[in-house]
């Protein structure tokens, strides 16, 4: 994710960004079984009142920032979403079928769903009892689910999906545009348009079918497998085979100029651009194949089966987002922003943080990718950028220069600070200190090896520091971890 401050006049170097905040995740709470909002009748109500074996899954996964993000007791392996959006009424109708594996004996489990009206829930084809408490949809299957069992839960729902305002004031969730909508998920916005386990530690494959009025497009992640128009409505079907965290799932509904191509090595490229942004976007998007080639050479094999971009006209969204396969931009992007979001496909989308506290592993890497791009394309070197940031004169604004040292990148003080400058710039500075310590060749091997070691998985800061020590066993990283990654204030430059 990236957002940019007002332009600063400085002819000596390119303007960097100061990202806006993105919330994170806190201590989990136990599942509350008492119904509070609405409930659904079950087929037989648990075998006519018989005791269902097992215990409830948790309504959260003990993330440091968001108390109820994700859910315990099961692991989702696949989402099959069938959605219909009426742009005139701004009304969404959905059926979400989740395939999951029980990680304990379950008598009940939770799904995250913000707003929307639940009409029916079934588990393995049998109607299940359910209750609502805030964002928690608690499901009580007719029979208990044994640990290790794969099961299917289907939720029918509808309503007007919500736009969620984060702790930092930015908007996510279902964001309306003048000709449709954008679904943006970081960190918890995806629960506004489909039920699930909305935490980055629970990744799954996806099939997403979206029906919209004829004349509009619906763009999502992965590959477009079919498009069919009937009775004034068009259904677009998208398939994502590789594991995906829910916060990088997206849907874009509107009018778009669509272009399809392939890179030199045959990777499909699918780009959707609002016609009002086509001219302003053309030159930068034409560079996408070259950016992909550079990124593959720098970070290793591309982890997904297609690439591309979505450029919309969303004036209220002040950030770009690394939605899997094709990042979303609320306006015409510049090259550095495109590089940043493409780098996230390796660092964030493929190697996904285990908790939101590990956000710097996303943003520090993507920011450092911008530095490497500049270095490799005639701009400032990473060393020059690092030195100017440390000296405190990289920006014309003293406020921006001071913001870099507000807190340690590995320990954001609150959910509302997750996308502040230390997570981005100081996170990138941690990587540069590693590069200074191990040398260019070993550092490049670390970049590629880290992406390969956790490809399509999850990792945290402890995993990363252990990996770096393993790749450079003769080097001392104690000062880097203590002062740069976890320390307060501006460390000494040496």
> DSSP string spanning 142-211?
SS-B-TT-EEEEEEEEEE-PPEEEPTTS-EEEEEEETTEEEEE-TTTGGGGTS-B--STT--EEEEEEEE
pLDDT at 298: 98
- The string of DSSP letters for 248-310 reads G--EEEE--EEEEEE-TT--EEEEEE-GGGHHHHHHHHHTHHHHHHHHHHHH-S--SS-EEEE
Q: Tell me what pLDDT residue 19 has.
A: 37
Place of tokens 């390796």: 346
pTM: 0.91
* Of residues 280, 263, 369, the one with CA closest to residue 322: 369
pLDDT given for residue 37 in this prediction = 43
What is the per-residue pLDDT for 67? 85
Q: What angle do CA 126, 202, 79 make, to 5 degrees?
A: 45
Q: Please tell me the total number of residues recorded for the chain in this structure.
A: 494
Taking the CA atoms of 62, 63, 65 and 70 in sequence, report the sign of the dihedral they define.
Answer: negative
Spatial separation of the C-alpha atoms in residues 412 and 119, rounded to whole Å = 39
Count Cβ atoms within 10 A of the Cβ of residue 233 and give its class: 0-12 exposed, 13-18 middle, 19 or more buried.
middle
The sign of the dihedral angle between the CA atoms of 141, 153, 69, 62 is: positive
The neighbour count for residue 258, using CB atoms within 10 Å, is 12
Per-residue pLDDT at 51: 61
Q: What is the mean pLDDT of each run of 10 residues along the chain (494 residues)?
A: 48 32 34 42 41 88 93 98 98 98 98 98 98 97 97 98 92 96 97 98 98 98 98 98 98 98 97 98 98 98 98 93 98 98 98 98 98 98 98 97 98 96 98 98 98 98 98 97 98 82
Contact at 8 Å (CB) between 31 and 58? yes
| Nearest Cα to Cα of residue 493 among 429, 407, 406 | 429
Buried residues in 395-432 as b, exposed as e (16+ CB within 10 A):
beeeebbebbbbbbbbebeebbbbbbbbbbbbbbbbbb
Let me know the angle formed at the C-alpha of 92 by 243 and 250, rounded to the nearest 5 degrees.
30
| CA dist 48 → 44, 59, 126, 230 (Å) | 5, 26, 14, 44
Contact 488/408 with Cβ under 8 angstroms? Answer: yes
Q: Who contacts 436 (Cβ-Cβ below 8 Å, separation ≥6)? A: none
Tell me if residue 464 falls in helix, strand or coil: helix
Would you state the pLDDT for residue 36? 39
493: nearest Cα among 432, 420, 442: 432
DSSP structural state of residue 64: S
pLDDT score, position 6:
36
């Amino acid at each position: 994710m990236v957002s940019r401050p007002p332009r600063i006049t400085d002819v000596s170097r390119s303007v960097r960004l100061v990202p806006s905040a993105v919330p994170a995740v806190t201590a989990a709470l136990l599942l509350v079984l008492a119904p509070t909002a609405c409930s659904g009748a079950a087929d037989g109500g648990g075998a006519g009142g018989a005791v269902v074996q097992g215990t409830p899954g948790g309504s959260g996964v003990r993330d440091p920032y968001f108390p109820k993000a994700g859910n315990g007791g099961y692991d989702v392996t696949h989402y099959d979403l069938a959605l219909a959006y009426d742009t005139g009424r701004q009304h969404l109708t959905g059926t979400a079928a989740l395939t999951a594996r029980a990680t304990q004996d379950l008598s009940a489990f939770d799904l995250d769903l913000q707003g929307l009206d639940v009409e029916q829930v079934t588990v393995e084809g049998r109607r299940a009892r359910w209750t609502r408490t805030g964002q928690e949809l608690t499901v009580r299957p007719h029979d208990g689910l044994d640990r290790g069992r794969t099961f299917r839960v289907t939720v029918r729902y509808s309503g007007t999906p919500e736009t969620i305002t984060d702790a930092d004031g930015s908007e996510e969730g279902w964001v309306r545009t003048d000709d449709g909508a954008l679904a943006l998920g970081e960190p918890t916005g995806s629960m506004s348009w489909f039920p699930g386990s909305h935490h980055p530690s629970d990744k799954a494959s996806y099939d997403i079918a979206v029906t919209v009025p004829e004349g509009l497009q619906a763009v999502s992640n992965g590959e477009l497998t079919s498009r069919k128009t009937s009775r004034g409505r068009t259904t677009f079907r998208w398939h994502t085979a590789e594991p995906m965290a829910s916060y990088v799932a997206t849907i874009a509904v509107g009018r778009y100029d669509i272009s399809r191509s392939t890179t030199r090595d045959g990777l499909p490229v699918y780009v959707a651009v609002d016609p009002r942004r086509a001219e302003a976007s053309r030159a930068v998007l034409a560079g996408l194949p070259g950016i992909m080639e550079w990124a593959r050479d720098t970070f290793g094999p591309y982890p997904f089966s297609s690439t591309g971009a979505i450029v919309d006209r969303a004036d209220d969204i002040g950030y770009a987002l690394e939605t899997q396969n094709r990042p979303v931009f609320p306006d015409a992007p510049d090259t550095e922003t495109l590089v940043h979001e493409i780098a996230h496909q390796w660092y964030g989308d493929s190697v996904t943080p285990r908790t939101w506290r590990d956000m710097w592993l996303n943003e520090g890497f993507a920011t450092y990718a911008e530095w490497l791009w500049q270095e490799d394309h005639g701009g400032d070197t990473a060393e020059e950028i690092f030195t100017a940031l440390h000296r405190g004169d990289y920006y014309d604004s003293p406020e921006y220069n001071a913001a870099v040292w507000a807190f340690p990148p590995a320990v954001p003080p609150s959910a509302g600070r997750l996308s502040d400058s230390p997570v981005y710039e100081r996170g990138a500075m941690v990587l540069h200190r590693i590069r200074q310590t191990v040398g260019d060749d070993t550092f490049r091997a670390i970049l590629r090896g880290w992406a390969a070691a956790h490809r399509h998985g999850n990792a945290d800061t402890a995993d990363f520091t252990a990996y770096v020590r393993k790749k450079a066993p003769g080097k001392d990283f104690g000062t880097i971890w203590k002062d740069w990654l976890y320390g307060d204030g501006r460390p000494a430059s040496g």
